[in-house]
Chain A
Amino acid sequence: EAGVAQSPRYKIIEKRQSVAFWCNPISGHATLYWYQQILGQGPKLLIQFQNNGVVDDSQLPKDRFSAERLKGVDSTLKIQPAKLEDSAVYLCASSSGLAGEETQYFGPGTRLLVL
Chain B
Amino acid sequence: GEDVEQSLFLSVREGDSSVINCTYTDSSSTYLYWYKQEPGAGLQLLTYIFSNMDMKQDQRLTVLLNKKDKHLSLRIADTQTGDSAIYFCAEASPRGYNKLIFGAGTRLAVHP
Contact = CB atoms under 8 A, between A and B. Distances in A.
A41 B104 contact: yes
B55 interface: no
A109 B40 CA distance: 9
Given A102-B31, A106-B43, A45 B88 contact: no
A103 B46 CA distance: 11
Instruction: Give the interface size class of chain A.
Output: 20 to 34
B104 A43 contact: no
A106 B44 CA distance: 7
A102 B98 contact: yes
Contacts, number: 58
Interface in A93-113: 93, 95, 102-109, 111
Query: DSSP majority for the B interface?
Result: strand
Interface string B74-112: 000000000000001010100011111011110000000
A111 B37 CA distance: 14
Interface of A: 4, 6, 31, 33, 35, 40-45, 48, 50, 55-56, 91, 93, 95, 102-109, 111
Given A42-B103, A102-B98, A103-B48, 20 more contacts: A4-B42, A6-B42, A35-B100, A40-B104, A41-B105, A42-B4, A42-B88, A42-B104, A43-B43, A56-B96, A56-B97, A56-B99, A91-B42, A91-B43, A102-B92, A105-B45, A106-B44, A106-B45, A107-B42, A108-B42
